Amino acid sequence: MDTKSGGKSRNLLVFQQQNLSWENGIALANNDARDWMAANEYLQQLHEPAPNVSTFRQSSRSTQWKKATNGWIKCNYDGSFLNSNVPSKAGWVFRDDSGNFRGAGQAIGLVTSTALESEWQALLIAMQHAWTKGFRRVIFEGDNKQLVDLINQRQLHFASFNWLRDVYHWKLKFEDI
């Protein structure tokens, strides 16, 4: 994706207070649209989950926790967002298919702009920790429906594209997820 042109017309107009000719504005808008279409095409081409294999799940606070499928590890993760001036926090717990504790972690992440970004960050850190522990068949379960819908391609959110790309990158490192 050409990131040099992405948003360049807005940058010139808003931040550099430069006026553009309508021809240049159209050309830059076309480049932005091409970048957006390329990003969507990339999302479409990512590996689809195998049939009958759960990838990422949303947990419901009103339902009881369920054990992982035989041979799997379940990772429950959560992100914490206070405001855009404070680093986000993340926490996660690993349990095996018998419900036995297999580890946990917590982290102070980067400053994020939204609660959704905090959830993305928590998931990525939990995925990285699972990988370092040698877990390769993992069910990641979080409480943010929008994040789960974005990962499972039931929803699009362009501002989450880089987070989603990072999650898919880490997803490929696991035997099954």
Amino acid at 29: A
Residues 21, 106 within the same domain: no
Q: What pLDDT, on a 0 to 100 scale, did the predictor assign at position 10?
A: 54
Q: What pLDDT, on a 0 to 100 scale, did the predictor assign at position 154?
A: 82
pLDDT in tens, 4-24: 444 555 555 555 666 777 777
Task: Taking each helix axis as running N to C, give the angle between helix 161-171 and helix 22-45, from 0 to 180 degrees, rounded to the nearest 10.
Answer: 30
Tell whether 162 is covered by a domain: yes
With 0-12 / 13-18 / 19 or more C-beta atoms within 10 angstroms meaning exposed / middle / buried, residue 91 is middle
| H/E run at residue 93 | strand 87-95
Alpha helices in the chain (DSSP H): 8-10, 22-45, 115-132, 145-151, 161-171
Q: What pLDDT, on a 0 to 100 scale, did the predictor assign at position 68?
A: 87
Helix then strand then coil, % of the chain, to nearest 5: 40, 20, 40
Tell whether 51 is covered by a domain: no
Tell whether 63 is covered by a domain: yes
More confident residue, 76 or 22: 76
Q: What pTM does this model have? A: 0.64
Tell whether 177 is covered by a domain: no
Q: How many domains does the chain have?
A: 2
Residues 102, 142 within the same domain: yes
Determine the average pLDDT of the residues in 125-146: 94
Tell whether 17 is covered by a domain: yes
Residues 167, 97 within the same domain: yes
Residues 33, 87 within the same domain: no
Sign of the Cα torsion 24, 29, 35, 37 reads: negative
Percentage above 90 pLDDT, the chain: 45
- Is the pLDDT at 70 greater than 60, yes or no? yes
Whether residue 71 contacts residue 137, with contact meaning beta carbons closer than 8 Å, is answered with yes
Report how far residue 55's alpha carbon sits from residue 42's, in angstroms, rounded to the nearest whole number. 19
The pLDDT-based confidence of 2 (bands split at 50, 70, 90) is very low
Residues 166, 131 within the same domain: yes
Q: What pLDDT, on a 0 to 100 scale, did the predictor assign at position 5?
A: 44
pLDDT in tens, 19-59: 777 777 777 777 777 766 666 666 565 544 433 334 455 55
By residue range, what is the domain housing residue 14? 8-45
Determine the average pLDDT of the residues in 163-167: 90
Residues 116, 37 within the same domain: no
More confident residue, 162 or 107: 107
Q: What is the CATH number of the domain that holds 153?
A: 3.30.420.10
Residues 163, 133 within the same domain: yes
Residues 107, 157 within the same domain: yes
